[in-house]
Amino acid sequence: MTADFFTQMRSVFTLQRALLNERALAGEPNLPALLTCRDVIRFATVEEARVAHLSHKIGSLTPGKEADILLLRADALNVAPLNNVPGAVVTLMDRSNVDTVIVGGRIRKWRGRMVGLHLPWLRANLEASRDYLLAAAGLQREPF
């Protein structure tokens, strides 16, 4: 499963519902409430920062914290017609909806395009990291 922000939110939302449905069909009483899309967004922002012990720096838009912001396109076809913003973010949006990214107050993506990214350098570093980890674990790279 891909580790992108949207897939992770959608997976949490769907898996919790599937597991509770299974328990309900088995006749289990006193089940917990279903997660809402707002709950899932909170998990992916505020709670993620908390469990990483970074809530003093990130996780919410609070004076004194880093300004990490995603601006999402709500006019894209995959969310039309837009009826419920939290629901669309969790259940319909994907990486293509990310228009602008600001990390620590610096623009990293603007109008759908990465800013200041040297892709060949990044790719070489990612491959070197992969190769190091595989070698350290004594594994062979097997792309097929």
pLDDT tens string, the chain, 144 residues long: the values are 788 899 999 999 999 999 999 999 999 999 999 999 999 999 999 999 999 999 999 999 999 999 889 999 999 999 999 999 999 999 999 999 999 999 988 999 999 999 988 889 999 999 999 999 999 999 999 989
How far is 94 from 4, CA to CA, in rounded Å?
8
- 63 burial (CB, 10 Å; 0-12 / 13-18 / 19+) is exposed
How far is 122 from 71, CA to CA, in rounded Å?
24
Q: Which pLDDT value is given to residue 3?
A: 82
Where in the chain are the domains? Answer: 5-117
Residue 30 to residues 34, 45, 73, Cα–Cα distance (Å): 12, 29, 39
How far is 64 from 57, CA to CA, in rounded Å?
8
Class of domain 5-117: mainly beta
